[in-house]
Amino acid sequence: MILNSEIQSDVSLKAQALHAEYRRLMRETVFDESYNVREVLDDVIERVSLREKLLGTAKQFAEKKREERFNLATRQFESLMVDFLRLYQPILERLRSYREGMQKEITGLRSSLATVNGMLEVSKGIEGLAPRVQQLEADGQELDARINEKMKMANKIDDLFNRVRPFQTGGPGQMGRDSLSDVLSGMPKDLFPDSPEQGNEKTRKAAGRN
């Protein structure tokens, strides 16, 4: 009985210490920068997706028409993607650094989850620890949810870098907007949707005329 009581006390003290440490970490990370990073990440993904769509449409049109001007348009859209990535390089580097830090945090959370699960298994075999078992189960679920949330964001960052990697080894774009307009002048007007930047440019010009 004395041995069993000592085991219960030891497990309970360890569980309480782990729970207190976990709560402290939670408080420290509540007001972190993850929200701002998500906003920036979604913005970059949206801009990359738009350029991918333009490039994909240009490639399809070039395959159908098999004319040099359409091949030239495809190369120009590739060049514009390279220029865009160069402009956004500081942001991409920030996302890369955040991803590396996130991996360390995920590793720490997984270690904590393994510890909680181990203590949970021990506690389940000891009478009188039902409240502690419930607390450990709740902590484990909370840790698991945080891991899944961070993995979801980490996967989004990884996917973004996989998509832009082929363009990050390319050379700088040399053709200006006027040259691109010349290339696209003979194409159907509805082939390429306006980018947000182009839409803003048209709005400013219209406002200037008024």
In angstroms, the CA 56 to CA 74 distance is 8
Listed range (3-7, 111-115, 117-121, 132-136) with the worst mean pLDDT: 3-7
The average pLDDT across 120-127 equals: 88
CB 89 within 8 A of CB 168: no
- What digits encode the pLDDT tens for the residues 63-110? 887 777 778 888 888 988 999 999 999 999 999 999 999 999 999 999
Q: What is the pLDDT of residue 192?
A: 44
In percent, how much of the chain has pLDDT > 70?
64
In angstroms, the CA 167 to CA 86 distance is 10
Q: What is the pLDDT of residue 196?
A: 42
Domain count for the chain: 1
Q: Over 50: is that where the pLDDT of 176 sits?
A: no
Q: Over 60: is that where the pLDDT of 62 sits?
A: yes
Q: Which residue has the tokens 């270690």?
A: 111
What Cα–Cα distance (Å) separates residue 116 from each residue in 3, 80, 98, 104, 148? Answer: 23, 50, 27, 19, 17
Buried b (16+ CB within 10 A) or exposed e, 15-42: beebbeebeeeeeeeeeeebeebeebbe
User: 198 or 66: whose pLDDT is higher?
Assistant: 66
Q: Over 60: is that where the pLDDT of 157 sits?
A: yes
Residue 92 is part of a domain; what is its CATH number? Answer: 1.20.58
Q: What is the pLDDT of residue 33?
A: 63
Burial class (CB in 10 A: 0-12, 13-18, 19+), 199: exposed
* Three-state SS at 88: coil
Q: What is the pTM of this model?
A: 0.65
Enclosing domain of residue 188: 2-209
Q: Over 70: is that where the pLDDT of 31 sits?
A: no
Give the helix ranges, DSSP H, for the chain: 2-30, 34-65, 68-87, 89-124, 130-164, 177-184, 196-209
Quick one: CA dihedral 97, 25, 145, 129, positive or negative?
Answer: positive
| Average pLDDT in the chain | 76
Q: Which residue has the tokens 């060049």?
A: 79
| Tokens at 107, concatenated | 């590793």
Q: What is the pLDDT of residue 207?
A: 46
* Three-state SS at 102: helix
